[in-house]
Amino acid sequence: MIAQNLIVEILVEELPPKALESLGESFASSLVASLKRDGLAPENAIVTAYATPRRLAAHITEVSAAAADKAVSQKLMPVSVGFKEGAPTPALLKKLAALGADASAVEKLRRENDGKADILFFDSTVKGATLAEGLQKAIEAALAALPIPKVMSYQLADGWTTVNFVRPAHGLLAVHGAVNVPVSVLGLHSGKTTYGHRFEGGSDPISVEHADYYARTLLDRGAVIASFAERRDEIARQLTAAAAKAGPDLRPVEDAALLDEVTALVERPNVLVGQFDEEFLEVPQECLILTMKANQKYFPLLDAAGKLTHHFLIVSNLTPADPSAIIGGNERVVRPRLADARFFFNQDRKKTLESRLPALDKVVYHNKLGSQLARCERVTSIARDIVIKLPENLTPTESIILDKRVKQAASIAKADLLTDMVGEFPELQGIMGRYYALGDGYNEEVADAVEDHYKPRFAGDTLPRGRTGMIVALADKLETLTGMFSIGQVPTGDKDPFALRRHALGVIRILSEGGINVPLCELLGLAAARFVTKASKKGKKAAQEKQEKNTNTEKLKEFIFDRLAVNLREQGYTAREVDAVLCLAPPLLSDIPKRLKAVRDFVALPQADVLAAANKRVANILKKATDSTDAKLDHALLQEPAEVALSEALERLVPLADAEFMQGDYSRSLQTLAALRDLVDEFFDKVLVNAENPALRANRLVLLDRLYGAMNKVADLSRLST
């Protein structure tokens, strides 16, 4: 029988929009996977997922009406167990009966030796499943596997039967080629009909005459674009066109999540242009944009400079000849939303951020770490300590100004959490703080730091603007990490309730890219000092707390370096390159990219493999050595020409390489030392390190120790050896 394409659709009430795309993909992938397992669909079958607010569907190619019969070989038991004196035993007959075979099958049993004993096998042919059988099982499995956010229970038409599903289901379509496949689920029996758009598709059922006509039939007769991806593309196209119609150089706000959500809210989109009173533009545009996006699912329009205009785009599910009623209704709805935003903004400005600080003492940060006010005080203290640690040559005046700005920004950074606007829209924390700080008369760099101290908030996010923002953001993240580690809140597996991995990556990026050249260990020490309580600074308690603090700091350092290693591998560095650099725990994270580049440059050298292998050999020798390598090299004990040559080369090249290292030219430093390759080779060929003479042996170990120390300042080159 020739394989035909298959369409399956379940018609439901409006599905949850934020989950719609994943529901559609899950339904389609589960359905085809089950049919493949039963031999009803080939491995190269193509599945197309469809998902609209009222339906989940899947189109699958090359589906057979029945699966091919399968030869099955069933291992039974050893011959010695199945036969006694040439006759079948009761155990064998019972086993055959369980498999649906009678005593006549005994003569057909196959014997095969498994290397230990002769085994009995029962060979049979299992009839392939019909499509109706396989599809019934596949639909049930697909519905059970749906990533449903919340299941609801409802009664069927008989008034007695209760079923559980994401939304009440009203129709089931299953068409193979042009033939209905009889299946049942959720109290529904399959047919060849469906329904179109709730308002514009008519009330009569729509017949799908062939599986391949499904999408076209819904579009032509039901006013429905069945494909989620096609519907999203159509909305994007209409948004661009409508923006151009609203005014030159206007563009809709880019928001992929919002685009997905409106795609899940309409079956045939119609983008319309609305507008609001320009007087609302006095409110910070972030407030208006978030209000329109979050509450109304509108796309605000921006001008060429990125400034909000008084126009917005509506993605409607209706396409009337005269859209004025839809536009007018939406304009009336958005006005009170914007008025609320203006009210919150005006009310918030009646109190300064500084005046809100005492109230932060009543906001719990963590029951073991105190209030948000205590947190702000710790962040302020850490930030001011960072200013002192900065290696830049600041004049006394510059240092005083920076300290003042850092203190101001850190102290008020969390104050906007108590404003009405942030209470309504938590996503605006920091953003509103900047506006209110400017309104309170703070310097622009201070205001920027208030907004930016949350940055970077996610992968690819920008870093804070200016040095003040960098320092406050770094202090905030260090306080969070140190505090949580001090109370044992360490991420485990995929659980990270306090987003400590994100905070660690923030620390890494600021120290790597932000120009804060302070050693990580010093920063962790500064932060840890803020969690030592005054009551426990005496006697045994003080010693115990100091030990715990040191342990937590070391654990936190390892955590940050683990995150750094993952991040570097994601950037394309190999595990060996990353390991070679990070095993030295470079104090300045800003040095690490330069060290990695130097390692890559070194690996490209023809001497690299030999020197890496030699370093590994030297490391093993020094690890096993019992002689001290702290002594000074005795040139009088250098007897072999090879060791003399190596020593002289080290005397000549190491100072040059060290100077290049101190200048931060790590690539040149390694390239300078790469000239030692032939001398190192000759040393190991001609010189016996573990000489019987203790003085010679000790002196040669000192020479190797000096070689190893010189070669491995940038990275542990032995880690590059295969």
Q: 504, 520, 537 — which closes off a domain?
A: 537
pLDDT computed for residue 545 by the predictor = 65
Q: How far is CA 720 from CA 405, 491, 614, 681, 687, in A?
A: 46, 31, 11, 17, 24
Q: What average pLDDT does the segment 400-408 reach?
A: 96
Rounded to an integer, what distance in angstroms lies between the CA atom of residue 408 and that of residue 449? 10
For the record, the structure tokens of 672 come out as 């300078």
pLDDT computed for residue 543 by the predictor = 63
Q: What is the CATH number of the domain that holds 174?
A: 3.30.70
Residue 565 falls inside a structural domain: no
Amino acid identity of residue 652, one-letter, is: R
303-315 b/e (C-beta count within 10 Å ≥ 16 → b): eeeeebbbbbbbb
* Residues whose CB is less than 8 angstroms from the CB of residue 23 and which lie 6 or more positions away in sequence, other chains included: 15, 16, 51, 56, 146, 147, 148, 166
| Claim to verify: residue 189 and residue 237 sit in the same structural domain | no
| Claim to verify: residue 31 and residue 180 sit in the same structural domain | yes
For the record, the structure tokens of 206 come out as 């729509």
Note down the domain range covering 311: 228-348
Task: List the beta bridge partners of residue 364.
Answer: 371
pLDDT at 630 exceeding the cut of 80 = no
Beta pairing class for 87-88 and 110-113: unpaired
pLDDT computed for residue 539 by the predictor = 60
Residue 538 binned pLDDT confidence (cut-offs 50, 70, 90): low
Q: What is the CATH number of the domain that holds 529?
A: 1.10.3210
Q: What average pLDDT does the segment 279-283 reach?
A: 96
Q: 324, 348, 372 — which closes off a domain?
A: 348
pLDDT at 176 exceeding the cut of 90 = yes
33-68 b/e (C-beta count within 10 Å ≥ 16 → b): ebbbebbbbeeebebbbbbbbbbbbbbbbebbbbbe
pLDDT at 607 exceeding the cut of 80 = yes
Residue 498 falls inside a structural domain: yes
CA 461 to chain centre: 13
Rounded to an integer, what distance in angstroms lies between the CA atom of residue 645 and that of residue 169? 86
Q: What average pLDDT does the segment 157-165 reach?
A: 87
71, containing H or E segment: strand 70-78
| Claim to verify: residue 136 and residue 119 sit in the same structural domain | no
| Claim to verify: residue 592 and residue 443 sit in the same structural domain | no
Half-sphere exposure at residue 710, Cβ-oriented, CA atoms within 13 angstroms: 29
Q: Is 504 helix (H, G, I), strand (E, B) or coil?
A: helix
| Claim to verify: residue 473 and residue 434 sit in the same structural domain | yes
| Claim to verify: residue 533 and residue 416 sit in the same structural domain | yes
Rounded to an integer, what distance in angstroms lies between the CA atom of residue 264 and that of residue 90? 63
Residue 535 binned pLDDT confidence (cut-offs 50, 70, 90): very low
Dihedrals phi, psi of 423, to nearest 5 degrees: -60, -35
CA angle 61, 67, 73 (to 5 degrees): 140
Q: What average pLDDT does the segment 620-646 reach?
A: 85
**Residue for token pair 């542990």:** 716
Q: Could you tell me if residue 73 is left (phi over 0), alpha (psi between -120 and 50 degrees) or otherwise beta?
A: beta
Task: List the beta bridge partners of residue 188.
Answer: 185
Closest CA to 165 of 149, 183, 184, 152: 152
Calculate the average pLDDT of the chain.
92
| Claim to verify: residue 321 and residue 361 sit in the same structural domain | no
pLDDT, one tens digit per residue, over 659-718 is 999 999 999 999 999 999 999 999 989 988 888 888 898 888 889 999 999 999 999 998
CA 168 to chain centre: 34
pLDDT, one tens digit per residue, over 570-586 is 999 999 999 999 999 99
pLDDT at 138 exceeding the cut of 80 = yes
Residue 103 falls inside a structural domain: yes
| Claim to verify: residue 405 and residue 291 sit in the same structural domain | no
Q: What average pLDDT does the segment 316-345 reach?
A: 96
Q: How many CB atoms neighbour CB 384 within 10 A?
A: 18
Task: List the beta bridge partners of residue 273.
Answer: 313
Task: List the beta bridge partners of residue 169.
Answer: 12
pLDDT, one tens digit per residue, over 459-495 is 889 999 999 999 999 999 999 999 999 999 999 888 8
| Claim to verify: residue 627 and residue 665 sit in the same structural domain | yes
Residue 580 falls inside a structural domain: no
Q: How far is CA 274 from CA 247, 271, 315, 339, in A?
A: 12, 10, 11, 16
% of the chain with per-residue pLDDT over 90: 73
| Claim to verify: residue 166 and residue 263 sit in the same structural domain | no
pLDDT at 540 exceeding the cut of 70 = no
| Claim to verify: residue 186 and residue 295 sit in the same structural domain | no
Q: Which of the two residues, 534 and 470, has the higher pLDDT score?
A: 470
**CA torsion, ordered 236, 241, 245, 246, to nearest 10 deg:** 10
Beta pairing class for 308-316 and 299-302: antiparallel
pLDDT at 193 exceeding the cut of 70 = yes
**Residue for token pair 């593309």:** 233
Count of the separate structural domains present in the chain: 5
Residue 148 falls inside a structural domain: yes
Q: What average pLDDT does the segment 64-79 reach?
A: 86
* Residues whose CB is less than 8 angstroms from the CB of residue 172 and which lie 6 or more positions away in sequence, other chains included: 9, 10, 11, 183, 184, 185, 186, 188, 189, 190, 191
384, containing H or E segment: helix 372-389
> In this structure, are residues 30 and 47 in contact, taking their beta carbons and an 8 Å threshold?
no
| Claim to verify: residue 212 and residue 247 sit in the same structural domain | no
> In this structure, are residues 58 and 28 in contact, taking their beta carbons and an 8 Å threshold?
yes
Q: How many CB atoms neighbour CB 380 within 10 A?
A: 22
Task: List the beta bridge partners of residue 157.
Answer: none
Q: 307, 333, 348 — which closes off a domain?
A: 348
Residue 562 falls inside a structural domain: no
Dihedrals phi, psi of 299, to nearest 5 degrees: -110, 100
As a three-state string, the secondary structure of 609-646 is HHHHHHHHHHHHHHHHCCCCCCCCCCHHHCCCHHHHHH
Least confident of 90-94, 442-446, 594-598: 90-94
Closest CA to 523 of 501, 542, 506: 506
Rounded to an integer, what distance in angstroms lies between the CA atom of residue 531 and that of residue 230? 55
Residue 606 falls inside a structural domain: yes
Residue 410 falls inside a structural domain: yes
> In this structure, are residues 269 and 323 in contact, taking their beta carbons and an 8 Å threshold?
no
For the record, the structure tokens of 301 come out as 């329009």
